[in-house]
Chain A
Amino acid sequence: SQQGEEDPQALSIQEGENATMNCSYKTSINNLQWYRQNSGRGLVHLILIRSNEREKHSGRLRVTLDTSKKSSSLLITASRAADTASYFCATDKEDDYKLSFGAGTTVTVRA
């Protein structure tokens, strides 16, 4: 069963705009990770945030984690055509380190 669920399922934005997607999960976690998948390719790790962290930045990416709401958000600022991809959150569980992936958010950046 999927631990994490992304919202929205799909997102279409203009180049230069920001894209925000959310992930909700069900049980307490050790870590939450975000991955990107370009069409027909493998997943690429973007960022890992630990349960005792609230916010993390990496380049144009900003991830927040609210453990009280069991939710996380991924913000991509100043989007580019190359950001067109599917984005997945992955969580482990506090007593089990195996990752569980959501179904993903498909982001389309229009030129």
Chain B
Amino acid sequence: NAGVTQTPKFQVLKTGQSMTLQCAQDMNHNSMYWYRQDPGMGLRLIYYSASEGTTDKGEVPNGYNVSRLNKREFSLRLESAAPSQTSVYFCASSDSLYNEQFFGPGTRLTVL
């Protein structure tokens, strides 16, 4: 049981480049989430997917898009990266919106 996996672990982009962060879970969870964590701050929700086939905006969705590819996979895309998107990105999953979340190891993204 790998839990929640994220790829890549590290990424450096130039301003304006695009990339997709991948997330997969093997716990048969219905709900999946993308957060960003900046120094001295808690996690902020970017987008979430309550169940397969649905996605909704969180607190800080601007500059991002998501795809819930199937029940296992939830990807986050940066279409045109900006330095303000330099952060650590975490994917999480839970069996329902009301229960504990399981987190991946994170992706450290630097935008130059």
Contact = CB atoms under 8 A, between A and B. Distances in A.
Interface of A: 1-2, 4, 30-31, 33, 35, 41-45, 48, 88, 90, 92, 97-104
B43 A88 contact: yes
Contacts of A30: 98
B45 A98 contact: yes
A102 B42 contact: yes
Given A30-B98, A98-B59, 18 more contacts: A1-B59, A2-B41, A33-B100, A41-B106, A42-B106, A43-B101, A45-B100, A45-B102, A48-B100, A92-B98, A98-B97, A99-B101, A100-B42, A101-B35, A101-B42, A101-B44, A103-B40, A104-B42
Interface residues of B, number: 23
Contacts of A48: 99-100
Contacts of B105: 41-42
Contacts of A92: 98
Nearest to B100: A45
Interface of B: 4, 35, 40-45, 48, 58-59, 90, 92, 97-106
Nearest to B40: A103
A99 B48 CA distance: 11
7 contacts: A2-B42, A33-B100, A33-B101, A44-B103, A92-B98, A100-B59, A103-B41
